[in-house]
């Protein structure tokens, strides 16, 4: 990863040069390593939301309320959906009606 000398933003590779996405500053690539670009999401990054999907988790106490049926017990699991410096996301499934929702701490 290379950062802009002018504004500090992350640079993107364009041809043989590096270009700042924020200010447009151009420079040569300063690393001899390979750059990897991801084009699509990996299967392990996808969170299963299908109705018949397995849902592993722990039962909650009465601290949550299902928006569909008002039941106060749900299964939950925690996944890191953002970058490592962001809080994890909690996914819930109502034990009564099966409604699913997420909570962004």
- pLDDT, tens digit, 9 for 90 and up, residues 40-95: 656 555 555 555 555 666 677 777 899 999 998 888 888 787 777 888 888 888 88
Residue 67 counted as an annotated binding residue: no
Nearest to 69 by CA among 40, 43, 101: 101
Helix (H, G, I), strand (E, B) or coil at 57: coil
CA 35 to chain centre: 22
Query: Phi and psi (nearest 5°) for 44?
Result: -75, -15
Residue 69: the pLDDT is: 94
- Please give the backbone phi and psi of residue 11, each rounded to the nearest 5 degrees, phi first: -90, 155
Residues known to be catalytic: 85-86
Task: Answer whether residue 28 shows pLDDT above 70.
Answer: yes
Q: Is 105 annotated as a binding residue?
A: no
CATH number given to 43-104? 2.20.25.10
Structure tokens at 34: 């390979």
Residue 13 has pLDDT above 80, yes or no: yes
Measured in degrees and rounded to the nearest 5, phi and psi for residue 45 equal -85, -15
pLDDT band of residue 2 (cuts 50, 70, 90) is: confident
- Do residues 57 and 79 lie in contact, with contact meaning Cβ atoms separated by under 8 Å? no
Q: Binding residue per annotation — 94? A: yes
83 assigned ligand-binding residue: no
């Amino acid at each position: 990863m290379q950062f802009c000398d002018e504004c500090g933003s992350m640079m993107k590779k364009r041809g043989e040069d590096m270009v700042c996405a924020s200010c447009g500053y151009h420079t040569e690539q300063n690393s001899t390593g390979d750059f990897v670009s991801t084009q699509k999401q990996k299967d392990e990054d996808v969170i299963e939301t299908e109705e018949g999907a397995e849902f592993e988790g722990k039962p909650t106490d009465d601290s949550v309320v299902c928006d569909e049926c008002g039941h106060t017990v749900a299964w939950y699991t925690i996944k890191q959906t953002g970058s490592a410096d962001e809080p994890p996301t909690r996914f819930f499934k109502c034990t009564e009606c099966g409604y699913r929702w997420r909570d962004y701490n």
